[in-house]
Amino acid sequence: MNQLFKKRKEQISIVQQFFNRVVKTEVKVVEASQLVICDGCKQAIAPESIKANQGVCIHCGYHMRIGAYDRLSLLLDEGTFREIDKKRTSFHVNDFPGYKKKLYQYQQAANVNEAVVCGSGQISGVKVAIAVMDSYFMMGSMGSVVGDKITKTIEMATQKKFPLLIVSSSGGARMQEGILSLMQMAKTSAALARLDEAGGLYISILTHPTTGGVSASYAMLGDIILAEPKATIGFAGRRVIEKTINEKLPDHFQTSEFLKEKGFVDQVVTRHQLKDTCSKLLQLHQGVNL
Amino acid sequence: MKSMSAWERVMLARNPQRPKAKDLLPHIFEDFIELCGDRHFGDDAALYGGLATFEGTPVTVLAQSKGRNLQENLECHFGMVSPEGYRKAQRLAKQAEKFHRPIITFVDTAGAFPGKEAEERGQAEAIATSLKLFATLKTPIIAIVLSEGGSGGALALSVADRIYMFENAIYSILSPEGFASILWKDESRAKEAAELMECTSFDLLNKGIIDGIIEESEGGLHQHQKTAILLLKEILRKELGILSKKKVKQLLDERYKKFRVMGNV
Ligand SMILES: [Zn+2]
């Protein structure tokens, strides 16, 4: 399977993979014309124009979900990414009914082995430790392997004195792994506490969606928290809340803009400005970690 | 009682007659003094906190509180804690660290409160900050899962040096109903979910998540609580003795490792 994987990767460039992904899973394909429908404005758009615009709708500015490798190529200086734990999978974690099959299916559909891609790289020449979640893999849910890879990335930041970036995109903890998934919230938060004590910088980037156990652990613990426009961010699910309080919630509830208004996000930053914003923040902290 | 099904234990854990933290505390601690408020917005009755002595030693007690009658149930949101509750816990925990008091928590919640105001006031941030704070708090922490430990709402009070569960308590990623609803879009399959979830005290001991089980007598805690209270006091006495002798660095290193290895597969 690995061979196949490699072969496929050689065949298509990162840009093309991105193009495929958008067509395949995010938006509905309109007949043979290959046009895609934007989730934000429901208009049909040529995939080339979405691709050229970093996955952002050319009509309404809606930020579509993008995969981990596409995100890395937007954020990091070209050719600087060094991945860790690329091959780790979760097949051996437990025998929960249907879990292994699901993992296999998602590995086929998404271009990743698990819901997070971790490593080090450079942003405008500054070395960083970085973890990027991929919501195309089981809704970016956090199981043991995801939690452990993120913890390792945080520990790398602490040990090597790299600033840390985590791009969150997740529905929360992974049900199939039960209590062990829940414990990843404690594990990642404990690692962040140590980074904090060591004086390390952590920039948390929230993208659509950042909810449940991920929002209630590392996503909300950044020294600086940035969010992409109109991302859904919150702890409890919208429907659960509506059922509990027996009323309908306003449209903008649990959006990036809503969280900024309530004081939980520093800035809402468009995808086009994200690298530049991170780069400026990193420059401002240069030497601080040393 | 090991032969019971997980669902039977869920039923015992949720039995309305089952003692709540407020029922048990007077039998465990002396001189409880309640401390209120998060100093930011309000006071959350779902998180009952204060000072007490345990056999002469001052301790800080943080207890999730479901309420013992309908009036209390409503005031406490049935034990579902709001951001103000988690922030009150953080405040009292920092105080415990300052005055070198051990912290003893009682976990009893189906989950954090899923309300509009709770989200507006940062439920996610409140839980996340609790997890981070308790991970490096320079004082011993012992968590006792009393009945129900559900989701991040329970975890926020169980980042501890020792975690014990009452025999018929459950501790899980989500309530069986929530689990069934997410996995099969069908809440009514909660019973089936409970059996799959590995949420009983014996499951959690096997998985290395908890340190021990506080045995309950036949029929559950509400039938006979005296023996269980004596067992709990014995555990607290023993563990406080061990933990308070540790140097802070060792205590924190061991706490870090405890969670660091969970799910390392
Ligand atoms: Zn659009």
Which residue in the set B179, B260, B262 is minimally distant from A175, CB to CB?
A: B179
- Six-digit token string for B202: 């014996």
Chain B residue nearest residue A216, CA to CA:
B124
Which residue in the set B114, B131, B183 is minimally distant from A185, CB to CB?
A: B131
Contacts A–B by Cβ distance under 8 A: 164
Where does the pLDDT of residue A14 fall: very low under 50, low under 70, confident under 90, or very high at 90 and above?
very low
Q: Tell me whether residues B114 and A240 touch, CB distance under 8 A.
A: yes
Chain B residues inside the 8 Å CB shell of A139: none
d(CA B37, CA B135): 22
Side chain identity at A280, as an amino acid letter?
A: K
Residues of chain A with CATH 3.90.226.10: 65-285
Q: Residue A194 has what pLDDT?
A: 98
How remote is the CA of residue A43 from the centroid of ligand 1, in Å?
6
How remote is the CA of residue A230 from the centroid of ligand 1, in Å?
12
Q: Is the pLDDT assigned to residue A12 strictly greater than 60?
A: no
Q: In Å, how far is B262's CA from the nearest CA of chain A?
A: 7
- Six-digit token string for A220: 């909300």
Q: Residue A34 has what pLDDT?
A: 77
Would the CA dihedral through A247, A251, A254, A259 be positive or negative? Answer: negative
Chain A residues inside the 8 Å CB shell of B114: 235-237, 240-241, 244
Pick the CATH number of B6-260 from 3.90.950.10, 2.60.450.10, 2.60.40.420, 3.90.226.10: 3.90.226.10
Q: Could you say which residues of chain B have pLDDT below 70? A: 1-2
Chain A residues inside the 8 Å CB shell of B135: 186, 189-190, 193
Where does the pLDDT of residue A202 fall: very low under 50, low under 70, confident under 90, or very high at 90 and above?
very high
Q: What is the ipTM score, two decimals?
A: 0.97
pTM of the full structure? 0.93
Q: Residue B3 has what pLDDT?
A: 82
Q: Tell me whether residues B263 and A187 touch, CB distance under 8 A.
A: yes
How remote is the CA of residue B225 from the centroid of ligand 1, in Å?
61
Q: In Å, how far is B226's CA from the nearest CA of chain A?
A: 30
Tell me the C-alpha to C-alpha distance, in Å, between residue B70 and each of A35, B27, B66, B78: 57, 23, 10, 9
Chain A residues inside the 8 Å CB shell of B118: 235-236
- Six-digit token string for A58: 């050319």
Q: Give the start-to-end residue ranges of the domains of chain B.
A: 6-260
Q: Tell me whether residues A235 and B127 touch, CB distance under 8 A.
A: yes
Q: In Å, how far is B198's CA from the nearest CA of chain A?
A: 8
CATH number for the domain formed by residue range(s) A65-285: 3.90.226.10
Q: Residue B264 has what pLDDT?
A: 85
Where does the pLDDT of residue A289 fall: very low under 50, low under 70, confident under 90, or very high at 90 and above?
low
Three-class SS state of B193: helix
Three-class SS state of A68: helix
Q: Tell me whether residues B127 and A216 touch, CB distance under 8 A.
A: yes
Chain B residues inside the 8 Å CB shell of A189: 128, 131-132, 135, 159
Three-class SS state of A76: coil
- Six-digit token string for B26: 């007077």
Q: In Å, how far is A218's CA from the nearest CA of chain B?
A: 7
- pLDDT, tens digit (0-9, with 9 covering 90-100), for A132-159: 999 999 999 999 999 999 999 999 999 9
Q: What's the full length of chain A, in residues?
A: 290
Find the mean pLDDT for residues A214-228: 98
Find the mean pLDDT for residues A95-105: 95
Q: Tell me whether residues B118 and A236 touch, CB distance under 8 A.
A: yes
Q: Tell me whether residues B173 and A218 touch, CB distance under 8 A.
A: no
d(CA A205, CA A271): 11
Chain A residues inside the 8 Å CB shell of B132: 189-190, 192-193, 196, 221
- pLDDT, tens digit (0-9, with 9 covering 90-100), for A17-43: 444 444 444 444 444 457 889 989 999
Q: Tell me whether residues A184 and B263 touch, CB distance under 8 A.
A: yes
Q: What is the DSSP letter of A113?
A: S
d(CA B224, CA B168): 13
E-assigned strand segments in A79-187: 82-84, 116-123, 126-133, 164-170
Q: In Å, how far is B256's CA from the nearest CA of chain A?
A: 7
